[in-house]
Amino acid sequence: MKAREITIGGLLTALSILIPLAFGGVLGIVIPPFSATLASHVPVMLAMLISPSTAVFVGIGSAIGFLIKLGPIIAARAAVHAAFGYVGAKMIQKGYSFPVALAAILPIHAVLEAVVVMPFGFDFYKAFVVIGIGTMIHHTIDSLIAIAVFYALNPILRLRPINTRS
C-alpha cells in the first residue's frame, strides 16, 4: 500500500470514530434497540472513492475504535461497513458513479447490520424490522450528505481511485 492510502485511511477512521462521539448529542437518534448518529457513515462512503482496501480498513478501523469506546454491539455493527465499503469501492473502480454505488450497497448494509446483532440477543423481528429499516433510512440520509460533501470536495482535492498497481 502507498503511504497516502494509509494516512487517508487513518484520518477517515479517526473521523468515523469522532463523528458519533462529537455530534451524537446533536445528530443522535435512539429508538431502542436502534441507535445511530447521522453522518457517521460518511467517512466509510468517502473511503470507497480511494480504493477497496482503504474502504475495508476504514470499516475495520472504526469497528476497533468503537470497541474501544462504545462496546461490542456498536463495534459489530460498525464492522459491517467494511463489507459494504468494499463492494461500493469495487463498483466505483469499475466505472459506476458514486451515487449509483451508494444506492446499490444500501440493501447489503441493512441486511448485514440486522444479521450481526442477532448473537447479542436480538430476536428476528427486532433485528430485521427495527435495525434493518432504521439502517436503510440512516444509509439514505448519509448517502445524501456524502454526495454533497463529495461534490464540494472534488474540485479542490480531485478525489479519484488510486491505481494501486502503478
Partner 1 sequence: MAIKDITIGQYVPGETPIHNMDPRVKILLSIVFIIVLFIVKNYTGYVYVVLYIMASVYISKVHLSYIFKGLKPLLAILFITMAINMFLTPGHTIWSYGSIRLTAEGLNLAIFMSIRLILLIVGTSLLTLTTSPIMLTDGIELILSPFKRIGVPAHELAMMMTIALRFIPTLLDEADKIMKAQMARGADFESGNIIKRAKAMVPLLVPLFINAFRRADELAMAMEARCYRGGENRTRMRQLRIEKRDYVAIIVTIVMILLVVMDRFVVSL
Pick the binder of partner 1 from 99, 133, 148, 160 (CB under 8 A): 148
What is the spatial distance between Cα 151 and Cα 145, in angstroms, rounded to a whole number?
10
Pick the binder of partner 1 from 64, 87, 106, 111 (CB under 8 A): 64
26 vs 20, 22, 43, 69, CA distance in Å? 10, 9, 18, 19
Site membership for partner 1, residue 40 (CB under 8 A): no
Residues 103-132 that bind partner 1 (CB under 8 A): 119-123, 126
Q: Which residue, 14 or 87, is less far from partner 1 as judged by CB?
A: 14
For residue 9, the minimal CB distance to partner 1 (Å) is 5
Site residue total, partner 1 (CB under 8 A) = 59
What is the spatial distance between Cα 128 and Cα 134, in angstroms, rounded to a whole number?
9
Q: Find, among 65, 63, 64, 43, the residue nearest to 54 by Cα.
A: 43
Instruction: Give me 57's grid cell.
Output: 480498513
Site membership for partner 1, residue 18 (CB under 8 A): yes
What is the spatial distance between Cα 44 and Cα 108, in angstroms, rounded to a whole number?
14
161 vs 48, 58, 68, 149, CA distance in Å? 8, 15, 30, 17
Pick the binder of partner 1 from 87, 104, 145, 162 (CB under 8 A): 145
For residue 95, the minimal CB distance to partner 1 (Å) is 23
Q: Which residue, 9 or 85, is less far from partner 1 as judged by CB?
A: 9
- Pair 35, 77: CB distance under 8 Å: no
Q: List contacts with partner 1 (CB under 8 A).
A: 1-4, 6-15, 17-18, 21-23, 25-27, 29-30, 32-33, 38-39, 42, 46, 53, 57, 60-61, 64-65, 67-73, 119-123, 126, 141, 144-145, 148-149, 152-153, 156-157, 159
